[in-house]
Each structure stands twice: as structure tokens, then as C-alpha cells.
Structure 1
């Protein structure tokens, strides 16, 4: 388990008085099947922040990289029916890995979180026709292909939408690099 995840788990218990395992048990008793249901329940009924609710939801559903034995399974699941976006993901991953040795990729069920000391990007095969790249650059004015994010509940501040691999550009890479540098 990476240090950031362990810190979140430790802080969850400090802030709520219950361990991650206790929260997972509480959520399992509710029989939720969807990530969003768990988020809503924890935020509404237990005043969780999005980050802690997201942690408990992923651990309950075993939908994060730390809960599966093979993260390639999560990637395969994300790209099922969207295989034409897999080369774009692989290209972006290769470029991002070149930013520095401190880059970490953490696949989830629906996206890949890209972190340095904190998350700076999300790679999301959103639909069969849309690939979203979310980045964290709070305070940055939207420009060019960069737009404000309104879909990810604050997990990123901006996003770029790609409809086909040919839209991959130097501008996209420059925004990713800027987000990487801001996360350091």
C-alpha cells in the first residue's frame, strides 16, 4: 500500500473514531451496489468529505488498485467495449512516466488516478466516443482544449476531452506536465 493511501486510512480513524474495516462493515450492511450510492450515504448520513467517502466506497466494492491482485484486470474492465482508446491510454501513460520517477498510476474501476505527492490527473475512458483527461490546476483559467471540470465531484479542477486518438496533441501533454509540476 502506498504512503498516501495509508495516511488516508489512518486519518479516517482519527477523524471518525472508526477504522476502515468498521466503515466497510457499516456500508456493507446497507447492501449498496454502486459507488455513487455509498458516496451519497457517507456524505449525507455521516458528514464524510468526498475523499474519505471515496476511500471507503472503493474498499467496500474492492474497486481500487489496492484491493485487487492484478491491476491489469481493472484496466481491461475500463476499456471493455472501448478498446480503440487503449493505445491512447498507453501513449499517455508512457509520456507521463517520463515526467519523473515519482509518478504513480492507481487504476480504479472506471479510471486511472495519476499521482505524484497527490493526484494530478485522471485518465478516463468515459464512453465509447469520449476519453476524458482530468487534471488538477486550481486557479488556472480554461484555455484551448482545457475546460473547467463539472463532472468529477472535485477530484480534478479541469478536463480535456478526446474523441479520437488524432486529437492527442502537444497542448494536451503540456497541460499534463504543468499539473505534474504543480503536484510536486
Structure 2
């Protein structure tokens, strides 16, 4: 288990008085079918932040990178039916890895988390028509391709792409700024 996840698990216990295992038991007792239902429940009924709710949901559904034996399977699954977005992912990963050798690429069930000391971006083939880059740039005014994200989302901003030509200097510069801020 990576250090960031371990720290989150420890903070979950400190902040709520319950262990991750206890929270997993609580959400499993609710018989939720979907990840989003667990997140909504924890945020609305137990006042979780999105990050903690997402952690518990992933662990309860065993869809986090730590629960999967082969992380490549998660990426393959993300692009099923959205294969036309895989070149966008590949190009972004190639560019992002040039920022430094301290980047953790952590595939999840529906997206890939990019972390340094903390998460700085997510890569997500959101729909068949939209590839979404989540960016953590708290306090940054949205401008250009950088749009605000919903309140309490895991990222503060997002950028939407539709094809590989949308990856330009602006997109890479925003991701690099988030990377630098996460160090």
C-alpha cells in the first residue's frame, strides 16, 4: 500500500473514530450496488469529504489499485468502448512522466490518479465523447481550458478533451503547474 493511502486510512480513523474496516462493514450493510451510491451516502449521512468517501467506496468494492492484482486490467477496462481515447491517455502519460521520476500512476476502476506527495491530476475517459483531466489547483481562477469542478470533488478544476489534437501547451502547462504544486 502506498504511503498516501496509508496516511488517509490513518486520518479516517482519527477523524471519524472508526477504522476503515468498520466503515467498510457499515457500507456493505447498506447493500449499495454502485460506487457513487456509497460516496453519496457517506457524504450526506456521515459528512465525509469526497476523498474519504471515495477511499471507503473503493476499498468496500475492491476497485482501488491496491485491491487489483494487475493494474493494466483496470486501464483496459476503462477504455472498453472508448478505445479512441486511449491514444490521448498514452500521450498525456508520456508528457507527464517527463516532469520527473517521482510520479505515482495509480489506476482506479474509472480513472487514473496521478500523485506526487498528493494527487495532482486524474485522467478519465468520462464518456464516449469526452476525455476529462481533473486538476488540483486550489485557489486558481478558471481560465482558458481550465474549468471549475463541482464543489467537494477530488480535483478543483477540469479540462475536457475530445481528441488528441486538444493536447496542447496550455493543457500540459496546467498539469505541470499542478504537479509542481503537489511537490
TM-score, normalised to structure 2, is: 0.95
Q: State how 1:1-184 maps to structure 2 within 5 Å.
A: 1-150=1-150, 153-184=152-183
The number of equivalent residue pairs is 183
Deviations, residues 84-122 of structure 1 (Å, cap 9, x unaligned): 110110111111111111111111111111111111101
Partner Cα distance (2:11, 2:155) in 1: 21
Measure the CA separation in 1 of the matches of 2:152 and 2:85: 24
Question: Alpha carbon RMSD of aligned pairs, Å?
Answer: 1.3
Q: Which runs of 4+ in 1 moved over 6 A?
A: none
CA displacement, residues 64-89 of structure 1 (integer Å, 9 cap, x when unaligned):
10111111111111100000110110
Give the distance between the partners of 2:139 and 2:15, measured in 1 at CA: 29
Structure 2 gaps of 5+ residues are: none
CA–CA separation in structure 1 for the residues paired with 2:18 and 2:41: 16
Per mean C-alpha deviation after superposition, the further-off stretch among 46-55 and 172-181 is 46-55
Q: Which runs of 5+ in 1 are unaligned?
A: none
What is the CA-CA distance between 1:171 and the residue it aligns to?
A: 1.2
* Distance in 1, Cα, partners of 2:89 & 2:42: 32
SS state at 1:177 partner = helix
Please give the alpha-carbon distance, in whole angstroms, between the structure 1 residues aligned to 2:141 and 2:48: 29
Deviation at 1:54, TM superposition (A): 1.1
Deviation at 1:14? 2.1
